[in-house]
Structure 1
């Protein structure tokens, strides 16, 4: 098969540059000194993901605590589902002023992180509360 020199050069150039493109995409943003909106958004998303992971671990701990109480597990599940609805609606409200802008995903991730961290603390109280301890109510 014969390739014209121009086409062959273009193919070779594309093959040579492809590792650079992959490396650039794989580079992690410096979240301590994020300079671009993309980097700031990626950092905010990472922080939210970490908060969500902690929330899921805390939720599992509360479920385990209530392992012998089906009513409590159902109430916990229902409360968590309601909280997710609240969280999403609250973040919709908080991002209303920036809707459609390049900053919206970052503001949303920050809202999700803040509310998720607060919920994690609430669940931690439930996980550690001894039966009959009214300070946990």
Structure 2
């Protein structure tokens, strides 16, 4: 778990540089690492927005809000552990930050898609835990 945070801290410190890179033309490992981090950060922002909207819709359903919060915390733990494991083959190498960020990005996008599905439930769908827009 420490390696996830160490890689994230390094990339965070370099975040401003990522804005200057044309990611479709990245040719150095450093640029590819920064671009992968930039993509993950966008996905993470999208995830946070979807989660916030779901929690807002659950404001009158405290039990459901507590369940979503617990599920999200468990999912974050899983995501970080899974990506630490799946990028383990390059730990210590120059590609590690890129591989880690790509995994985080992919799983974060999948979770965001799940949350968006909850936000688009049809009225009367009893299998949907998040109420529609008021």
Asked if 1:70 corresponds to 2:62, the answer is yes
For residues 68 and 123 of structure 2, what CA distance do their matches in structure 1 show? Answer: 16
Deviations 1:6-39 (A, max 9, x none): xxxxxxxxxxxxxxxxxxx687111011010000
Q: Which runs of 4+ in 1 moved over 4 A?
A: 134-137
How high is the TM-score relative to the length of structure 2?
Answer: 0.78
The structure that has the greater radius of gyration is 1
| SS of corresponding position for 2:27 | coil
Aligned residues: 113
For residues 105 and 44 of structure 1, what CA distance do their matches in structure 2 show? Answer: 8
How high is the TM-score relative to the length of structure 1?
Answer: 0.76
Deviation, structure 1 residue 132: 3.8
For residues 60 and 83 of structure 1, what CA distance do their matches in structure 2 show? Answer: 15
Deviations 1:26-82 (A, max 9, x none): 871110110100000000000000000000000011111111100000000000000
For residues 48 and 102 of structure 1, what CA distance do their matches in structure 2 show? Answer: 18
| Aligned-residue RMSD, C-alpha | 1.9
Structure 2 gaps of 5+ residues are 1-16, 130-134
Q: Is the 8 A contact 1:125 1:136 kept in 2?
A: no
Structure 1 gaps of 5+ residues are 1-24
Q: Cα–Cα, structure 1 residues 99 and 84, in superposed 2: closer, same or farther, change >3 Å?
A: same
Asked if 1:41 corresponds to 2:33, the answer is yes
